[in-house]
Amino acid sequence: MNFRPLHDHVLVRRIEPGEERQGGIIIPDTAKEKPQEGEVLAVGPGKILEDGSRRPVAVSVGNRVIFGKYAGTEVTLDGEEYLVLRESDILGVLES
């Protein structure tokens, strides 16, 4: 299934951090917080401004981004979990 975001929406797949042990204790999955980092998989064409022009989205496919803890809407496509965010929900792009 192909997903094409509209306007200034972005489709993101969360990037799971490696399993961390703190003080020799393994934290169960139910107590772990969801990651706030993800990879951009699809980008909408941009937001339509009042004058009718379109402002393109600042991120592109393949970027690693950081987003707010409660940002976006979770969706399931072909059995996998994704997140649909507005461009304004993205806090920054990770550059290597």
- Is residue 58 a part of any domain in this protein? yes
Can you tell me the distance from the alpha carbon of 32 to that of 43, in angstroms, rounded to the nearest whole number? 28
- Is residue 77 a part of any domain in this protein? yes
Please tell me whether the overall predicted TM-score, pTM, comes out greater than 0.75 for this model: yes
Mean pLDDT of the chain: 85
- Is residue 49 a part of any domain in this protein? yes
- Is residue 50 a part of any domain in this protein? yes
Which CATH number does the domain housing residue 38 bear?
2.30.33.40
The residue written with tokens 């941009």 in the block is: 46
pLDDT in tens, 71-94: 889 999 888 999 999 999 999 999
The residue written with tokens 């987003």 in the block is: 67
Would you say 61 and 39 are in contact if contact means Cβ atoms under 8 Å apart? no
- Is residue 42 a part of any domain in this protein? yes
- Is residue 2 a part of any domain in this protein? no
* Residue 70 pLDDT greater than 90, yes or no: no
Tell me the average pLDDT across 36-43: 92
Can you tell me the distance from the alpha carbon of 57 to that of 6, in angstroms, rounded to the nearest whole number? 11
Domain of residue 36 covers 9-16+30-94
- Is residue 62 a part of any domain in this protein? yes
Q: Which has the higher per-residue pLDDT, 23 or 44?
A: 44
Cα 56 to Cα 44, 48, 59, 66, 76: the distances in Å are 8, 9, 9, 19, 26
- Is residue 75 a part of any domain in this protein? yes
Tell me the average pLDDT across 2-27: 77
